[in-house]
Amino acid sequence: MNSSSTPCAPDQLHGIHQAVIQWFSRAGRDLPWREPACSPWGVLVSEIMLQQTPVVRVLPIWREWLDRWPTPADLAAASPADVVRAWGRLGYPRRALRLRAAATEIADHHDNQVPENHSELLALPGIGSYTAAAVAVFAFGQRYTVVDTNIRRVHARLFSGKALPSKTLTAAETRLADQLMPEDIAESVKWNQSVMELGALVCTARSPKCDECPVFDECAWIAAGRPEPDYVPKGQSWHGTDRQVRGAIMAVLRHSPSPVSVDLLLTDRAGAEQLASRIENPGQETADMLEKLWALPAPLEQRERALGGLLKDGLATRHGDEASLPS
């Protein structure tokens, strides 16, 4: 295998394409957004939800959303509060509001149909280059290069002999992905889907299952003796971060049937005891969420910063001394 940044010989590359695609036909997961009957809207929703979120967490929420809002117009008509509540604990809830903004644009300017044109997809609110390409490929069967973390990792090992791709997407990686794409449109769609799945299930970051890989014998990383990565990948921290505090505040607002006193959101458990008279039968779920928020070892400054970030992002609104989900 050629371990440089350029693809291998055409015949060899074609063999790799076929091996990975055939593996996918046997081992690929049966996911609802891959079904032929899935609408382009369903594919778009899945792509937004799957950003930095595991499939197992997305599946139930995706099904609930498509049942509740089967078309862009349905979601556009929903209130921001309902949308954020339905997003649940998928994380990065700004995605929910961006998806609603995209749905509004589709309903108002594209006759309630997700546009097929790549440039029109890219022009939708909150839709970046990856998502536009993924929807064009997986919803409409077009030939575009899709490059996510899983695909980058397979490319790095299989063709470049590296344990991991660069920390951030480089122009060289993009060129390599373009060069590796089959010319045939149908085959290019299958290749995008198959190599992504290979990275998700087999060629994983920390414990690759090389003995299950359909292109083990072609892998430049294996041929090079499995060299160590140039850096140690670090997962995103959570405990003690502003993200954790933001998530705890959002959980309170999602579960509360009425606006919540800002003082209650900003205090800790000791302070909450002094504010007990301010709590008027919030309901068990809201009370449980408040307890979790108060238990966080977060100083007042961090709590204020987290709430301020939610207000700035449009995920919460404040009316005087109370806060709630956006109306």
Q: What is the pLDDT of residues 14-64, one digit of tens each?
A: 999 999 999 999 999 999 999 999 999 999 999 999 998 999 999 999 999
Average pLDDT over residues 135-139: 98
Indicate if the pLDDT at residue 284 is higher than 70.
yes
Among candidate residues 35, 103, 95, 106, the one with its CA nearest the CA of residue 69:
103
Burial zone of 153 (CB within 10 Å; 0-12 exposed, 13-18 middle, 19+ buried)? buried
One-letter amino acid at 116 equals E
Indicate if the pLDDT at residue 137 is higher than 70.
yes
Task: List the catalytic residue out of 35, 47, 301, 322.
Answer: 47
Joined tokens for residue 118: 């790549």
What values do phi and psi take at 261, rounded to 5? -60, 130
Position 279 scores a pLDDT of 58
| Cβ atoms of residues 151 and 204 within 8 Å | no
What's the Cα-to-Cα distance from 81 to each of 71, 154, 184, 195, 253, rounded to whole Å?
Answer: 18, 40, 45, 37, 9
Known catalytic residue at 280: no
- State pLDDT tens for residues 214-266: 999 999 999 999 999 998 877 677 888 999 999 999 999 999 989 999 999 99
Among candidate residues 144, 124, 123, the one with its CA nearest the CA of residue 134:
144
Position 207 scores a pLDDT of 93
